[in-house]
Structure 1
């Protein structure tokens, strides 16, 4: 059994310089976008699925829930396996299973079969999400890793916006099954990228010996480290706060403010662009010049103040432009929070980067899965329930940041330019 991971372990294959190949960025970014694409691409086809499979909207909605569960649970398996057996083999197996499960979705004869296939699709697709983060950790450390994660946001942040629009376009030419055929084609491209573009970044001498049990033991050692747990919780709770907006804004904006579907799509796209731009500013201008905890605290403060502003706006009858601006600030704050917490957490993972990445992903998807429930507890004719949920989760993220990480201490900063 391996000893607990060493946070000072060097990267397995550091690239020459700080400019990774474009093909590698696109491959890893596409793997990071696999989750949002799998969940959102077929959303416009919900009514047609219910009609063609002669089922209820609730059961069709369950196909989305099971995929989300699979994406969360699958990371807890794929991450530790990648620490024990290397990154490439579990990734190729996962993408192969994803391709087959997606084809099964396209051929599903009933909604029950579709629900089962979607669960397997999520479990398999989780390998791409979790191993992509671990590969970045293998290849980069410190500031270089933070900048790479920020670059990935250019790809992954646009996926939730493009997916429903692309799904609607596909449905103009085919039935709902064709959406999954397109998704399968994307999976086939990803599988080819995993084989041809993404290298094995974890050599045998750095793998966790003792199999899956030893990887899980190393993961338990990580969870007992306040710093790792603090970054994990801070990022996950902040992500959940923004996911309240993602899950609840469609009904809230259309019911409370009379926004048309087209206007909502434009606002949603603008916020995704804000997230991607903020990530670039974070990686290229802030991190390395300012202390990482200062940047992280600034992102959390922007998130909390924006959520509080949304509450005030909902109670004072503020017009839509004010609400849109506050939502833009909420979403953009994640460009400061997520790359920073991900990098700092994985920096403490040592040889257990896959397991650490699994915990990060499972925490994010787990809290994100709860957030729409909080948003749905109130009346969608008001933005107040959504805003209250966002504020509560952002305050919890702040609490995790202060209690676990104690940012007032002037400890060495791995992201600060030397």
Structure 2
């Protein structure tokens, strides 16, 4: 009989990669000062994280089709823990970059294997509802990370952050060792990876969904990349940046409530994506116009709400045609959108501002969603 995984544990595993990254975000100015590197270079650690994360998604997604979901999850969490602990003793900025890349590679297991386990265990409307819970977790996790990271940085600088990351890895590994079931179908027969990759590469829907996932993530993570420096320019502390997560938590709750209500009323994915793109665009315009004072947090709430609406609806539908190879398909799909996220964040780090990148990204998302839905309407 197929074992259904615990939904709370699945939510925690989905939250894990974003918590560990955004917990690190408030420490960026301290890292720049501690290793005597420019702020822009310290910010590049975020794009490096996503680049390594993308290749981790491929590795763990393919392995979980061959080794099983549980064993792969434990391997990835173990690797993350080793890298996080090694970062605590980094003698140079180059060593820190290497350990950040390795930890990102390991943390990717929380994203791709968790999604694969959910696709093993649920389908149709049930899967959409489960992904709605995952979306709530994904949207809340950066808030948890920011608040914790701001407090830890103010108490013990970036070493306190790295120690906490190591401890989290140990605790989560122990919980999974005791509680995580195996969900891989017993009759599963993975097809050749090259054939699957070719099929995905020629699937227009895959490219469209990858662009949407990447775009909404760039909107969200631009804040965690540029936010500490915006607060610094406003003369505010790192801890204040961490507390700004409270405002984003409001956006998370609003977005989750809207998404849940509209799903219960039978709202379609196109309608929900149109709503998300509108909220993101209005929020981006607001941030662009108000970045020179703390009021920019109010329109950021709209962007977080848009993320909470869009991401679960995109992820729950993106791979419905690839259930026969859920792990490998999820890996290649994840590689595509994480590479796009890494590219987007690298460009954001060069901009050294927040409003401009948000405005450009939200406009591109609106155009992509509008064009796709117009094409489907006239067919």
TM-score higher than 0.5 here? yes
Q: 1:294 aligned to 2:271?
A: yes
TM normalised by structure 2 equals 0.84
Q: 1:200 aligned to 2:182?
A: yes
- Specify which of 275, 280, 300 is matched with residue 303 of structure 1: 280
**In 2: Cα distance, 1:406 partner to 1:259 partner:** 45
**In 2: Cα distance, 1:223 partner to 1:353 partner:** 16
What SS does the corresponding residue of 2:255 show, helix, strand or coil? helix
- Could you say if the C-alpha distance between residues 280 and 144 of structure 1 is closer, same or farther in structure 2, counting changes exceeding 3 Å? farther
- Specify which of 84, 88, 94 is matched with residue 112 of structure 1: 94
Contact 1:158 1:273 in 2 (8 A): no
Structure 1 range deviating more: 42-51 or 340-349: 42-51
Please show how residues 53-68 of structure 1 align to structure 2 within 5 Å: 55-57=36-38, 61=43, 63-68=45-50
**In 1: Cα distance, 2:28 partner to 2:231 partner:** 21
- Could you say if the C-alpha distance between residues 200 and 302 of structure 1 is closer, same or farther in structure 2, counting changes exceeding 3 Å? same
Q: 1:234 aligned to 2:209?
A: no
- Could you say if the C-alpha distance between residues 294 and 274 of structure 1 is closer, same or farther in structure 2, counting changes exceeding 3 Å? same
Provide Cα deviations, 1:251-287, integer angstroms capped at 9, x if missing partner: 44664x6666565444433123312441243134435
- Specify which of 185, 204, 212 is matched with residue 167 of structure 2: 185
What SS does the corresponding residue of 1:153 show, helix, strand or coil? helix
Question: What is the aligned partner in structure 1 of residue 365 from structure 2?
Answer: 397
**In 2: Cα distance, 1:314 partner to 1:163 partner:** 25
Q: 1:158 aligned to 2:128?
A: no
Contact 1:306 1:327 in 2 (8 A): yes
**In 2: Cα distance, 1:170 partner to 1:387 partner:** 27
What SS does the corresponding residue of 2:319 show, helix, strand or coil? helix
Structure 2: gaps (5+ residues): none
- The alignment of Structure 1 onto Structure 2 pairs a total of residues equal to 378
Please show how residues 13-412 of structure 1 align to structure 2 within 5 Å: 13=2, 24-46=6-28, 55-57=36-38, 61=43, 63-170=45-152, 176-209=158-191, 214-252=192-230, 255=233, 264-286=241-263, 289-311=266-288, 313=289, 321=295, 323-376=296-349, 380=353, 386-404=354-372, 406=374, 408-409=376-377
What SS does the corresponding residue of 1:56 show, helix, strand or coil? coil
Structure 1: gaps (5+ residues): 1-11, 16-20, 381-385, 412-418
- Could you say if the C-alpha distance between residues 155 and 94 of structure 1 is closer, same or farther in structure 2, counting changes exceeding 3 Å? same
Structure 1 range deviating more: 300-309 or 86-95: 300-309
- Could you say if the C-alpha distance between residues 342 and 221 of structure 1 is closer, same or farther in structure 2, counting changes exceeding 3 Å? same
Contact 1:241 1:371 in 2 (8 A): no
Which of the pair is proportionally richer in helix? 2
**In 1: Cα distance, 2:133 partner to 2:235 partner:** 35
**In 2: Cα distance, 1:189 partner to 1:40 partner:** 19
- Could you say if the C-alpha distance between residues 254 and 100 of structure 1 is closer, same or farther in structure 2, counting changes exceeding 3 Å? closer
**In 2: Cα distance, 1:299 partner to 1:55 partner:** 40
Shift of 1:196: 2.3
Shift of 1:104: 1.8
TM normalised by structure 1 equals 0.77
Shift of 1:126: 0.9
Contact 2:57 2:335 in 1 (8 A): yes
Contact 1:70 1:122 in 2 (8 A): yes
Shift of 1:345: 0.2
Provide Cα deviations, 1:200-243, integer angstroms capped at 9, x if missing partner: 1112312415xxxx234313312322223222222222322333
What SS does the corresponding residue of 2:301 show, helix, strand or coil? helix
